[in-house]
Amino acid sequence: MVELEGLEMQAEYIPKRQLSEAWKKLSNKPLPNVKMLRLSDEDFNYVLRHRRCLEDDLCEIEEWGRILSIKGTDACIFNGQETDDVDYIILVRQNPYHSLEEIIQHELGHLARGDL
């Protein structure tokens, strides 16, 4: 269980080893302090609805040419908050459109390029 947006949610932690292996393909720098959680589709949608901000919308427009619907979003990265023990949190939906490996590469790619 994790607490996000004031609610306790079931979450599956993606192993740090899996993130480290993907990171090595992207950068020679040390892996940032990041954790990745898989949430049920319902919880993922809830978090996205409550954490939307102008910066997220601008990033989606730059990356995809439009603001994506929550339904079409596989994953997202948030800056860690004071209560988190990490700098970044990556959330992924339980039933994404892409494979977990593709999602990890894509999301960590943002960190490797310094997009955030």
pLDDT, tens digit (0-9, with 9 covering 90-100), for 83-98: 678 999 999 999 999 9
- Domain limits for position 104: 2-113
Question: How many CB atoms are located within 10 Å of the residue 23 CB?
Answer: 22
Two structure tokens written together for 48: 């996205």
* Helix residue ranges per DSSP H, 8-52: 16-24, 41-51
Separation between Cα atoms, residue 103 and residue 97, nearest integer Å: 9
CA distance 18 to 114: 20
Number of domains in the chain: 1
- Of the two residues 97 and 54, the one the predictor is more confident about is 97
Determine the Cα–Cα distance for residues 104 and 109; give it in Å rounded to an integer. 8
pTM of the model: 0.84
Query: According to the model, what pLDDT value does residue 55 have?
Result: 63
- Over the stretch 10-50, which tens digit does the pLDDT of each residue have? 999 999 999 999 999 999 999 999 999 999 999 999 888 87
Cα 112 from Cα 96, distance rounded (Å): 22
Amino acid (1-letter code) at residue 30: P
Whether the predicted pLDDT of 62 surpasses 90 = no
